[in-house]
Amino acid sequence: ASGQLWGGRFSGGAAEAMFALSKSTQFDWRLARYDIAGSRAHAGALHRAGLLTDDEHAEMITALDRLEAAVVDGSFGPADTDEDVHGALERGLLEFAGPELGGRLRAGRSRNDQIATLLRMYLRDTLGAVGADVADLIKALHAQATTYLGAAMPGRTHLQHAQPVLLSHHLAAYAWPLLRDLSRLRDLDKRLAISPYGSAALAGTSLGLDPEATARDLGFAGSAANSMDATASRDLAAEAAYVLAQIAVDLSRLSEDVILWATHDFGYAELDDAWSTGSSIMPQKKNPDVAELARGKAGRLIGNLSGLLATFKGLPLAYNRDLQEDKEPLFDSIDQLLVLIPAVTGMVGTLTFDTEAMAAQASQGFSLATDVADWLVRQRVPFREAHEISGACVRYCEQRGMELSDLTAEQLSSIDPRLTPQVRDVLTVQGSIDARNGRGGTATEQVRAQLAEITQQLAKL
């Protein structure tokens, strides 16, 4: 028997090019096991509504189990003539249950409520896997931050030296957006946990089925309150694509820093051999390909998100076939991240840092100028004047090719008499870092507390 799901009112088959356009098994077959799970729950609904006898129900479940086993071991798969995953599995069911019993399961459901349900089930599972990978990356950042606790580096704004910070503070700064991504995934799951099954094509069913029971059978928290919304909306697909794109953007920003750090010019970090590549012509090269692919894939995932939004924006209610275009971009975003995140985790976890080179640069570029101004403020000089005085120190040093920490007591007092020799106490990298001891600051004590907080947050997720 064919799995063709329609045709009664048609006198001829579809044109070849029509079928080629319509066909989706090449990408929706990955939803097969969710479709079978949905069929099992739907058989239960038909049984409870008195539309399947006890025996029929038992036989149907047996046939679905056999079909699933055949899908899993690969002995059953989509044929060239199958339009989509639903049609292919219908063909399978007719094979395992016979046309009489198999032909009963389609009552009261439509591919429209099926596909909307399967997509949510699939997203709930795979977003969980993406989340687990993100958690591993956070752990790798945390481990590196712990290993290198105490190492100073130049903190930058506009890529210019700004103020010294701890390397651990910088690494941990990448853990926080990833923790927020995990919380976004968790929050999205609450919305994904509503089942469209029972909405049928758009208006619900007349067969007395109980969508709440079907929802619970499928592990959902509840069923949709509006059958048109349930079958026609794809905001959750867009939301998933956004969170996935955001994860990619977060990886991309981290990667950009790694790329800079690994240059000869910065010289902060070295990539592990296993997580870098060589050049076919330049023997000395060690390239940060993982980081560059992360940057590149971020563009691709942003494209998937904007493509989805563009697909949805002009659609009237309820279901339109345009919605079939939701799957490939979403699957692509998920597939890409599942390959990418473990590689980024490997790269980050095996970076070795040249703490001496970073520390030597930390005080360069007049990065202690704010400390001079803050010291003057503590001596009751208004910040406006303190900023001016510190700026004068920078100009003085710049003209003479020296750093602020090189200034002698005489030079300081010649710039401004309020600059007594004690100001020299704050002109060290360690002093500058540990002075920033308020919550969230870069002082060692605060960073240690922050790392403990990251561990706590991870445990909660």
**Looking at 321, 378, 384, 439, which residue binds ligand ARG (CB under 6 A)?**
321
Point out which span in 153-161, 171-179, 207-215, 321-329 binds ligand ARG (CB under 6 A): 321-329
* Known active-site residue 264: no
Residues 6 or more apart in contact with residue 408 via CB below 8 angstroms: none
Using the Cα atoms of residue 32, residue 35, residue 40 and residue 43 in order, give the sign of their dihedral: negative
> What's the closest the beta carbon of residue 149 comes to ligand ARG, in angstroms?
51
Taking the C-alpha atoms of residue 275 and residue 281, their distance in angstroms, rounded to an integer, is 19
Which one, 4 or 183, has the nearer CB to ligand ARG? 4
Is 24 among the residues that bind ligand ARG (CB under 6 A)?
yes
**Looking at 84, 239, 332, 371, which residue binds ligand ARG (CB under 6 A)?**
84
Is 416 among the residues that bind ligand ARG (CB under 6 A)?
no
Is 112 among the residues that bind ligand ARG (CB under 6 A)?
yes
Q: Other C-beta atoms within 10 Å of 181: how many?
A: 22
Which one, 314 or 438, has the nearer CB to ligand ARG? 314
Q: Which helix (H) or strand (E) holds 306?
A: helix 289-312
Point out which span in 50-58, 111-119, 170-178, 438-446 binds ligand ARG (CB under 6 A): 111-119
Is 324 among the residues that bind ligand ARG (CB under 6 A)?
yes
Is 323 among the residues that bind ligand ARG (CB under 6 A)?
yes
How many residues sit in the footprint of ligand ARG (CB under 6 A)?
9
* Known active-site residue 279: yes
Q: Which amino acid is at 454?
A: I
Is 231 among the residues that bind ligand ARG (CB under 6 A)?
no
Which one, 172 or 192, has the nearer CB to ligand ARG? 192
> What's the closest the beta carbon of residue 201 comes to ligand ARG, in angstroms?
7
> What's the closest the beta carbon of residue 65 comes to ligand ARG, in angstroms?
24
CA angle 334, 340, 344 (to 5 degrees): 140
Taking the C-alpha atoms of residue 458 and residue 461, their distance in angstroms, rounded to an integer, is 5
81 CB burial (10 A radius; 0-12, 13-18, 19+): middle
Point out which span in 33-41, 108-116, 384-392, 436-444 binds ligand ARG (CB under 6 A): 108-116
Is 185 among the residues that bind ligand ARG (CB under 6 A)?
no
Which one, 275 or 312, has the nearer CB to ligand ARG? 312
190 CB burial (10 A radius; 0-12, 13-18, 19+): exposed
| Token pair of 449 as six digits | 């507390």
Rounded to 10 deg, the angle between the 369-378 and 383-400 helix axes is: 140
> Do 148 and 448 contact (CB within 8 A), yes or no?
no
* From 11, 42, 110, 158, the catalytic residue: 158
User: From the CA atom positions of the chain, what is the Rg in Å?
Assistant: 31
Is 246 among the residues that bind ligand ARG (CB under 6 A)?
no
Is 115 among the residues that bind ligand ARG (CB under 6 A)?
yes
> What's the closest the beta carbon of residue 84 comes to ligand ARG, in angstroms?
4
DSSP 3-state of 292: helix
Residues 6 or more apart in contact with residue 286 via CB below 8 angstroms: 262, 270, 271, 273, 276, 277, 278
Which one, 318 or 373, has the nearer CB to ligand ARG? 318
> What's the closest the beta carbon of residue 118 comes to ligand ARG, in angstroms?
9
Which one, 212 or 325, has the nearer CB to ligand ARG? 325
Which one, 205 or 324, has the nearer CB to ligand ARG? 324
Picking from 459, 453, 443, the residue whose alpha carbon sits closest to that of residue 168 is 443
> Do 374 and 391 contact (CB within 8 A), yes or no?
no
List of residues contacting ligand ARG (CB under 6 A): 24, 84, 111-112, 115, 319, 321, 323-324
Please give the positions annotated as active site. 158, 279
